[in-house]
Chains A and B, each alone.
Chain A
Amino acid sequence: MVAVPKGRILKPLVALFARAGIDSAGLLSDDRSLVRDTGGLRFLLLKPDDVPTYVEYGAADLGVCGRDVLDEREPDVYRPLDLGIGVCRLVVAGPVGAPPPGGRPRVATKYPRSAAAHFGARGVQPEIVYVQGSVELAPVTGLADVIVDIVETGTTLAENGLAIVETVKPVSTALIANRVSYKYYAAEVRALVRRLEGALAAAG
């Protein structure tokens, strides 16, 4: 049972599985079922934030999850392999041309812990405003001075009059495993990891 996130990561993931010799094209088919049996595996299609939950509780043995979510939530799961897909950055961004906020900046983010850790490491105590989406709106409307969010191309930022202030950390996607499944199904999990490793190495 493999938990995978719906959304942008699915296409490169299916391509990676294909290179590893696993046919998961069924994940891309346009129907609404959330459980897909394909390539000898059972996949669960979940919201990205829910993937580590399913894996931590053992409802899924393996999962595919962004390191942004892993670092934010610190789920109790194994992370045996970086999949090298969904590569992006966690950044601080603010209005173009605005001076860096002094004193106690207000930060809007989906990643309150990562944001607090980033500012905390340099002695800044920001006021964190938790939002679930459309984070770019926060500086425009005055909800916050800056945002902390993941950025792939920067197009969305630019379209909302924002620019990257600094990079917090690079983000990619990892294969994660439930602690018990990793041990109990060690042979199967290791075999899958090796095949994916082989596919990643071949892609250079």
Chain B
Amino acid sequence: MNEFDKHVEDIYRVLDGKVDRETIARELRNWITNFKVPMAEAKRSIVSKLGGDPSKLSGNEKKICDLTANEARVDLKVKVITINSKEYELEGIKRKMYYGIVGDETGTIPFTAWRMDVELRRGDCIEVKNAYTREWQGKIQIVFGNNTRISLLPPNSIEVKSTIKPAKIVELHPKMGFVEVRGKIMDVSEKEVMVDGVPRRVYEGIIGDDTGEIPFTAWDVEVNKGDVLKISGAYVRTFRGMPQLVFDPRTVIEKIDEKIEVKEIPVTLESLEGRGGFNVLVEGVIIDIKRGSGLIYRCPECGRVLTSTMCPEHGKVTPKPDLRIKAVLDDGTGGMVCIFNKGQTEELLGIDINKALKIVQENLGNPAVIREMIEDKLIAMPMRLRGNVISKEKYGLTMLVKDFEFLNIEDVAKKAELMLEELRW
């Protein structure tokens, strides 16, 4: 029997044989092919129209792997794999919503529950009636809404096929389900806690990869600082408003021989004030280009910047041309003068010093033309810089730039959506 005939049979059964299969099939085909109504909706409508009770239809029960976006009525039997709650206020009343992951023998899926009939815990097996699906960030999610009924099933009555997805640390989010992360343990501390009267070991720390860092909690599995690990079957939860990676005894942890360069989080300029820093990473916007940027002349003896052919120390000299930028980077917490050398200036402008000299010549010897080119290129641009920072009482912070790059600012929509999710829209 094919899929379509199964649905016809289902309707035939509910209608108690009052209508023949051929009529039902014709009717159903009409709804599905001509009106493009979803199957569950079509079946309900037909049963109602022909005088039956649509709640007796069995076909709404689905397996997770069959779910598609925007299904209106879905019944499922699933196991709760992770569950988190959030409080929110609606019309002045404090309410609670839940989210997490549920799974069955065909896979796992994130869920959101606006209301719960029963207080659910991790590991509960449940029957869900009348849920619906939606798409969030390109992924299907199941929603338990106002008309959804949830009832408990016997413990361990559902086997879960866990789908473990490889993920980078920057992407980790509580709605992801089981993940596989490759990372380096940056820091770890151990403690013992009592859970239901049983002592258990917890390791807490920070794990990082080339995209970022995240706090982790490991239950009953020992991890050491500096370990590079492949962690399969961990999950993400929200702890004190921040995502946290959790490994439990079922998580498979494997030491791997891999070099991982952990991506640093930029420091704030405010935190460098009064102390400076060695080889620090900062992110901000260039808000000013200082005088003395662009084409300058130096004393060939001492390197001092000259405005004439006279060096205060070496007398009359033939000044040597040079390129440099003194830019002010501001990250909203503070500002800092950043010095780009000749090679870096050439790279930023896309011209070498000879070309710069020629451009100045063409502009009647006015070196301001180079500074204007720099301003056009850099002002208001978000950048990431690395270098040594010195802090001086009189001038504030100065960085000798070692590495620089323009920030990729294309994808703020995704970040905005994540933040809205955190703020509960």
A, B from the same assembly: no
